[in-house]
Amino acid sequence: MFKKSIAPKLSDINGARHVGYNVICGWLEVGFVDVLLMFGESPGTEPHVAMVNLTTDFLGEIFFGKSVEITTRVSKLGNSSFVLHHEMHQDKKLCVSAVTTFVCFDYNKNKSLAIPPKVSKKIRKHLIEG
């Protein structure tokens, strides 16, 4: 499991006086970047990884002035894909639950490919089922 803390900025606040959905979706990257770095040192390195699904449940508002804890866990690992589950808590209250699915992808051939064994082994260390 990966844990990160983020402090909402004033510019993250929308007209309803809470953090906007567009900011929250951007914060998901804070959670999954450690997993993506297992594939290489930068997003442009091969093998490439493509996000193919994002489901976000907004369960409560997030406000300025208090940090947000983002937790990310690997909930599924397949041959060519993996699923991450993310949660965002503020004041110990679950505010956002999200699921992202990534596929190892060959853009030249326009098809999925197997996650390299070395990378799969690294990801498996973070697999939490259930």
**pLDDT 10s digit of each residue in the chain, 130 long?**
899 999 999 999 988 899 999 999 899 988 888 898 888 767 666 678 999 999 999 999 999 999 999 999 999 999 999 999 999 999 999 999 999 999 998 888 899 999 999 999 999 999 987 5
Residue recorded with tokens 């450690």:
34
- What is residue 75's three-state secondary structure? strand
Domains belonging to the chain, first-starting first, are 2-124 (3.10.129.10)
Task: Tell me if 41 sits within 8 A of 111, measured CB to CB.
Answer: no
Per-residue pLDDT at 77: 96
Q: How far apart are CA 43 and CA 61, in angstroms?
A: 31
Q: Among candidates 123, 113, 29, 114, which has minimal Cα distance to 77?
A: 123
Greatest alpha-carbon pair distance for the chain in Å reads 47
pLDDT of residue 94: 98
